[in-house]
Structure 1
Amino acid sequence: MNPSDARRRILLIEDRRTGGLPDAAILAQAGYVVDALDGLEACAAAAQHPYALILMALEAADLDGVIEAARCIRRLPYPRGDVPILVLTGALGETDRERCRAVGMDGFLTRSGEQETLLEAVAHWVEAADDPTWGLDARPGVTAPLLNRRTLAQLEEDLGAELLPEVLSTFLTETARRLGLLEARVGAGDAAGAADEAHALKGSAGTFGAMALRQAVDEMERSGRGGDAARLAALLPEVRRLVTATCALLAAEYSSVVADTPRP
């Protein structure tokens, strides 16, 4: 296989001082081209080479190092910074998962000891990343990313780099307002009104590439149209979390954006 084939090329971030992990060998045997590097080298490699997927082996690298590497990669210009980033871990608490999501990591692969499980999960993400509509619609087994950077890159091209932060600031403020309206509708048991607010939030989320949020409020809209008030109440905490995470990530990546990040 040609090593330049980006559809089969994976960046594996690990701390080689520990002697490494068998993940690189497993992936190589399955036909992937694997660059196994530590965090200090990973961002430079991601800037130079097109990857289908980036795996961060948390057992072999400290969390702070993994987060810094992910933050560096997400700051790379499109398309180098628009690659799925997954954490490969044995166990990770929710607080640490939130830290990972906040810098743009897309998901978590839990070590099960089974090679087939790892390879099936990697294949899912590689297939999704190879799809030109990556992030627009979730596939089975593939979680939508917080941000679709293709969408943001197109917005920057259309609006210009100077105007984009101002428009994003407006989006953050409007998202906080829409979340408040949605919460009020759900609290009042107004399923139809909640569906309308979810629909409006879904439209703006899609426009600005907030794909995980778009997916979540789409489910809220469908529940509201069906008059399922209990389901709306059950879905609301996840929408709150995604609003907070998405707005924090946008504000972090576009430092000139000035807006209050909503807190659930």
Structure 2
Amino acid sequence: MQQQAPLHVLVVEDEVVNRDVVCHILNYFGHQVSAVDSGAAALSAVRRASFDLVVMDCRMHDMDGLETTRRLRAGEAGPSGITVPIIALTAQAFAVDRDACLAVGMNDFLTKPVDIDHLTLAIERWARRPHGGQHTCPTHADAGPCCQPGAAPKVFDPAVLAALPMVVDGSQSDYGQVVLDLYFKSLPAQLSSIQHAATSGDIQTAQRTAHSLKSSSAAVGALAMAACAADAEAHLCHGNQDMSHLPSRFDMEYERLCAMLGRQPDLMPESAVRPC
């Protein structure tokens, strides 16, 4: 990938940690990257500029990646949106999710947290193909480190951030700490969202927040938090409406993570603070 001519890549991702990691990886390999945090912003970006490739999150708050792709393929953002290669990025690793992505006109399918080798191979597949080429899909569909069976996941695995290419070669040796800080900054609001959703019975918000936490936690190596989020999402996806246990479980993992890394838990809104 390092030998490719630079591409102009649009990253469409509403979760701040995942967006930052993907953008830094693409920048590391010499590509020009533009990033937006919503489907509506993606349509506007494609209307204004020409992109060689789009990396598209499948689940976003305003308009999901599937609907955004449908609109691009229908010409709502102009001719370039009809043919630009689109790589789906999703925390869901099932064949039905892959098939749904391809059915709306996406060209490839990758799971989160981002696997660097899979991302670079996908970009190589589509970088030099004529726009509008036949859809394909990688044979891998791993669920990521948070979902592997076996032993209980680690509270924190430093190897995840240490494996980022800019950290490995020392060109941005502090990036792991930068993205970890970004993750911790985002956590209180997400945990508060879980608390409010559980209190109000808002299953959709709870499921969406758990989905976001699953991928961002795995991306930084907070594997126990990622597993907790995956369990919560699965619990809600299977039609279970009891959310009373979710806030305490997430808070426990937050406290364990802070203790392991020597961080002081940030104060959350009063409604989200509960006794152990």
TM-score (normalised: structure 1): 0.42
TM-score (normalised: structure 2): 0.40
- The structure with more helix, counted as a fraction of residues: 1
